[in-house]
Amino acid sequence: MFSLKGKIAVITGGGSGIGRGIANVFASQGAFVNIVELNEDAGRTVCKEIEKNGGKAAVHACDVSDQEKVVAMFNSIGKIDILVNNAGIAHVGRADTTSAADFDRIYNVNVKGAYNCLFASIPLMKANGGGVILNLASIAAIVGVADRFAYSMSKGAIYAMTLSVAKDYLGDNIRCNSISPARVHTPFVDGFIAKNYPGKEAEMFEKLSKSQPIGRMANPDDIAGLALYLCSDEASFITGNDYPIDGGYIKLNS
């Protein structure tokens, strides 16, 4: 079950964090993984991990906010069975403390970047007889998260785009779903804590971990397992859905 043998996958932001976890799991299940990364060195590191474990991968250095470059990159890949829209950046701030420049930066990467990949990949999937799209949203699209105004905006857009794409391409055999994680332990979290709470790293890590009712943060492999299922043939009856993976945060954090 959950074999991706013979499938060609594209994972944006596959050089670190959640994307890295998904790339490794997809490759272990037989997919040829195309890692799209602004940081080409990070992408190459993941490619080496995959190849060391007997998988196959390639890295494509690309800024997902540049539509012309994104289209050219996807066309160079050609056949695509799976797209994972994972590339994204975070921002801390409220509506009245978020600058226009920061708002635009979040929008260009998180929203326009995902749109650009959809714009480039859907015609290839249609020509290939179908495909699977998985977007990385967030619980921030569903619940209020303090000091995450621009980030929440971007993930709300991802949630809405998921439903729209799922509806529009039913007749083209293209499925589209999204995953909404709570806090995931990635290098970004460690960097955030180190920057904002110097000398209190262990204390803040524990506090952030306990904010999930299950008592810990997710790890990238937790997300990758769900991503694998949703992109596999075993999920062929699933489209137009969002899947919170949140340690009980939405329903139990009262």
Q: List C-alpha distances in Å: 75 to 19, 69, 80, 97, 124.
A: 21, 10, 10, 40, 8
If you write DSSP's letter for every residue of 158-213 in order, what string do you get?
HHHHHHHHHHHTGGGTEEEEEEEE--B--HHHHHHHHHHSTT-HHHHHHHHHHTST
The residue from 115, 151, 159, 169 that is catalytic is 151
54: which DSSP letter?
A: T
Please indicate whether residue 151 is annotated as part of the active site: yes
Cα dist from 98 to 87, 105, 107, 138, 154, whole Å:
21, 11, 12, 19, 13
116's tokens? 């650009």
- Three-state DSSP class for residue 90: coil
What is the set of active-site residues? 151
